[in-house]
Amino acid sequence: MVRLVDAEGQVVMEHGYGDMEGTESDGGTGDETADTDDETDNETDGDTQSTVDGELEIHHIDVGQGDSTLIITPANETVLIDSGDWRQDGSAVIDYLEAQGIDRIDHLVATHADADHIGGHAAVIEHFERTGEGIGAAYDSGVPSDSATYNNYLDAVDEHDVELLLVERGDELPIEGDVSTQVLHPPAETGSDVNENSIVLAFEFGDFEYVTTGDIDTDVEQQLVEELGSDLEGGVYKVGHHGSSTSSSEALLDTMAPETAIISSAYDSQYGHPNDVVLERFVERDIETYWTGVHGDIVVRTDGTATAVETEESFSTAPEDILEETPDADETTSRLPPSPLVAGDVASGIDGAVAPALG
C-alpha cells in the first residue's frame, strides 16, 4: 500500500498498492480499497508477503532544474543516477549524500551527457574519491557531449581510475541482493543524439517497480512501448525530461500504467517544466504526482510490498493541484529570452544556485 506522509511525518493518505497481483497483505483497514469479499486473498498469512528482505530507498534530491536520484539498497549499496546542473557543481548532491552518512557511491549513472544531468559528476567523483570510499563504477550511455562539463567528468574518471562502463539494452546493473536493475535503453548501436540515447532503467524489488527514462522523447518512448510492451510496467515513474511535453506520451503512460509519478524540475523552470499537457495526462489517469518544485526532496521507501513516500515540503499530490500551481503557459513563454539576451538572467531558474562570479 502507499502511505503518503507529509514533512512532519503525518500520514496524509493511504491506499492499496500492488493489489493488482493480489499481494496486498497489510490488511488495509480504513482505506478506500474496495473489498467486497472477505474471503479474497487479501488475508495476511505470510505467504503473500513479498519474499525480499530489507528496505529500498529512492531519494529524488531537489536540485532545482536538473536531475539527481540516490538509491540505497537493502544491502546498503548506493546508486546515484545523475548529479544535477553544472551551476551547482555537485554541491547540493554532495551535501545531501553527506547528510545521509554516505561515503561511497557504488554505482554512478549518467543517464545522458546534458549539463543538467552530469553537472556534478566531476565534483562528486573527486569528493568521494578524495575524502570518502570512492566510486565503485560509473555507467554511461556512450554518447558524448561537446561540453567542458562532460570533458571534466571524463577527466575525473581518468584521474581517479574509476571503472567506466557503457550499458545497453539487456544489461543488468551488478547490484547486490534482491534489487534487479534492467537496462531498457539505449540499444547497442546508438546514434549521436544525447537525449534519444538516454539510459532507461527499470528497478524491481519484490512487487515494487520503478522506471526512470532520462530525457528520452516520445519517439523513443513509442519504440520502447512497441518493443517491450508489458516489460515497461512500473508502479512508480520518474518522469522523463523534467515533465517536458517532449516526453511522457499517452502511449508510454498507458503501457507503463504508473500509480505514482515523480517530476524533478525547478519551481520556476525557465523551460516551462513540467508542461501542462503532461500534467493533464496525469490528471486523466489519476496518477498521484510529486514535483521537486513544490515537494522539495522526495523519498520513496518500500519493503517490496508496501510503499511510502515522504516529502520535504507538504503539498497536494493530486496532479490537478500541481497543474494549478505551475506558472501558466503564457507566463512561461514570456520567459523565453528576448533577442539579444542578457547574460546572467538565465541563472534564476535554479533554486539556491548562484552563477559563478565572472571576472
Partner 1 sequence: MDGTYTGVVDRIEDGEIAVILLEEDGQVIEQLDVAADRLPEPARTDGGVLSVTLEDGEIVSMEYRPETTRDRRESTQEKLDRLSKRLSDREE
Residues that bind partner 1 (CB under 8 A): 86-87, 114-116, 139-140, 142, 144-152, 154, 157-158, 164-168, 170-171, 173-174, 194-195, 244-246, 270-272, 275, 336-337, 339-344, 346-347, 355-356, 358
Element (H, E) at 60: strand 56-60
Determine the 3-state secondary structure of 15 from DSSP. strand
Distance between CA atoms of 101 and 117, rounded to whole angstroms?
23
Q: How far is the CB of 96 from partner 1 (least distance, A)?
A: 22
Name which of 99 and 342 has its Cβ closer to partner 1.
Answer: 342
- Give the C-alpha separation, 89 to 157, whole Å: 16
Cβ proximity to partner 1, 20 vs 188, nearer residue: 188
**Smallest separation (angstroms) from partner 1 to the CB of 310:** 30
| Rounded Cα gap, residues 287 and 317, in angstroms | 9
Whole-angstrom distance, CA of residue 124 vs CA of residue 134: 9
Sheet of strand 180-185: strand arrangement? 180-185, 200-205, 208-212, 236-238, 260-263, 288-291
Q: How far apart are CA 283 and CA 287, in angstroms?
A: 6
Toward partner 1, which CB reaches closer, 50 or 195?
A: 195
Least distance in angstroms from the C-beta of 177 to partner 1: 16
Number of residues assigned to the chain: 359
Shortest CB 202 distance to partner 1, Å: 16
Q: Which helix (H) or strand (E) holds 28?
A: none
Which residue's CB is nearer to partner 1, number 154 or number 251? 154
Report in angstroms how near the CB of residue 115 gets to partner 1 at its nearest: 5
For 81, the grid coordinates are 543516477
Taking the complex as a whole, how short is the minimal distance between the CB of residue 359 and partner 1, in angstroms? 8
By beta-carbon proximity to partner 1, the closer residue of 248 and 311 is 248
Based on the number of CB atoms within 10 Å of its own CB, is 105 exposed (0-12), middle (13-18) or buried (19 or more)? buried
Count CB neighbours of 250 within 10 A: 13
Residue 274 beta carbon to partner 1: minimum distance, rounded to whole angstroms: 12
Task: Closer to partner 1 by CB, 19 or 85: give it.
Answer: 85
C-alpha cell at 163: 571503472
| Closer of 173 and 262 to partner 1 (Cβ) | 173
